[in-house]
Chain A
Amino acid sequence: MGKPRVKVPKSAKAGEVITIKTLIKHKMESGRRKDKKTGELVPRNIINMFSASFNGEEVIKVDLHGSVSTNPYFQFQMKVPESGELAFKWADDDGNVTETTSKITVG
């Protein structure tokens, strides 16, 4: 898994709805593609879970089952109740986990 890119506003008004964009590098091997040389199926390795939590409270969780494009991109909206930290997490079939955080200041 590559380094994730997240776009989160640094500041917001209390109760404001903000848009968050995330992108992570991953080949998202579907398990249905054949190796061109050996003719054998390439084993599935996709990011199967993405989540975002604000101050420990889950905002969105996605269980990916396939058919999500290479380098998965997610955009979603969130209401900001107070200052805090948004924690993102990605996990793939091989057991790799990538995490990153972004701070939002209400003021």
Chain B
Amino acid sequence: MNISRRNALALGGAALTVTLVPVSFAQAAADDAMAQAVAEFTGGADIAEGGIELTTPEIAENGNTVPVGFSAPGAKRVVLLASKNPGPVVSFFTFGALSAGDASTRIRLAGTQDVVVIAEMADGSYTQVSKAVKVTIGGCGG
């Protein structure tokens, strides 16, 4: 993939509904990793908004196990991302013809952040949805 770092960053900036005010290096690094993960998944293609239903709790008391579900009818591939986790990629999903393009799981969230789902549809287009989750106790304990 020949995407320059600058392009990847610009893409990520446009794609994410993250407030782009890096207050610390750690956060800048997280934004960087996130933009890279998005660019890797889409190959730099444009990402539309909507068409996916994302279910997350508004407030998660325990970051160790946060229920997350999405429904992206007609999706071939989906990536589930946690914008501020040490590694933003949670999981990739590949769906077959019998699938409804949906999945629910439980994930760890290191702190309050956006959970993002990007789907590659059958026609090769990309769409995304993002939701903020407030975490009271982070789940990547160290």
Instruction: State whether B108 touches A68 (Cβ < 8 A).
Output: yes
Instruction: State whether B106 touches A69 (Cβ < 8 A).
Output: yes
Complex: A30 Cα to B89 Cα, angstroms: 13
Question: Using a CB-CB cutoff of 8 Å, which residues 105-137 of chain B contact chain A?
Answer: 105-109
Complex: A77 Cα to B99 Cα, angstroms: 6
B129 to chain A, nearest CB (A): 18
Instruction: State whether B89 touches A66 (Cβ < 8 A).
Output: yes
For A73, list chain B residues within 8 Å (CB). Answer: 104-106
Interface size class of A (residues with CB under 8 A): 20 to 34
Contacts A34-B142, A65-B90 given; does A74 touch B104 at CB 8 Å: yes
Complex: A62 Cα to B140 Cα, angstroms: 21
Q: Is B42 an interface residue (CB 8 A)?
A: no
For A17, list chain B residues within 8 Å (CB). Answer: 100
Instruction: State whether B65 touches A78 (Cβ < 8 A).
Output: no
A21 to chain B, nearest CB (A): 9
A50 (CB) vs chain B CBs: closest residue: B91
Which of A65, A69, A77 has a CB less than 8 Å from the CB of B87?
Answer: A65
A21 (CB) vs chain B CBs: closest residue: B104
Instruction: State whether A33 touches B90 (Cβ < 8 A).
Output: no
Choose, from A1-9, A52-60, A88-96, the stretch at the interface: A52-60
Q: Is B94 an interface residue (CB 8 A)?
A: yes
Q: Is A25 an interface residue (CB 8 A)?
A: no
Instruction: State whether B142 touches A32 (Cβ < 8 A).
Output: yes
Complex: A75 Cα to B99 Cα, angstroms: 12
For A33, list chain B residues within 8 Å (CB). Answer: 141-142
Instruction: State whether A68 touches B99 (Cβ < 8 A).
Output: no
Interface contacts beyond A63-B92, A69-B107: sample of 13 additional A-B pairs, CB < 8 Å, sorted by A:
A59-B96, A59-B98, A60-B99, A66-B90, A67-B85, A67-B90, A67-B140, A69-B105, A72-B105, A75-B105, A76-B99, A76-B102, A81-B98
Q: Give me the interface of A with B, judged by CB distance under 8 Å.
A: 17, 30, 32-34, 53-54, 57-70, 72-81
CB<8 Å pairs between A and B, sample of 20: A17-B100, A33-B141, A57-B96, A57-B98, A62-B105, A63-B94, A65-B91, A67-B91, A67-B109, A68-B90, A68-B105, A68-B107, A69-B66, A69-B139, A72-B106, A73-B104, A74-B104, A76-B103, A76-B104, A77-B100
- Enumerate the 3 nearest inter-chain pairs by beta-carbon distance, A residue then B residue, closest first: A77-B100, A75-B104, A69-B106
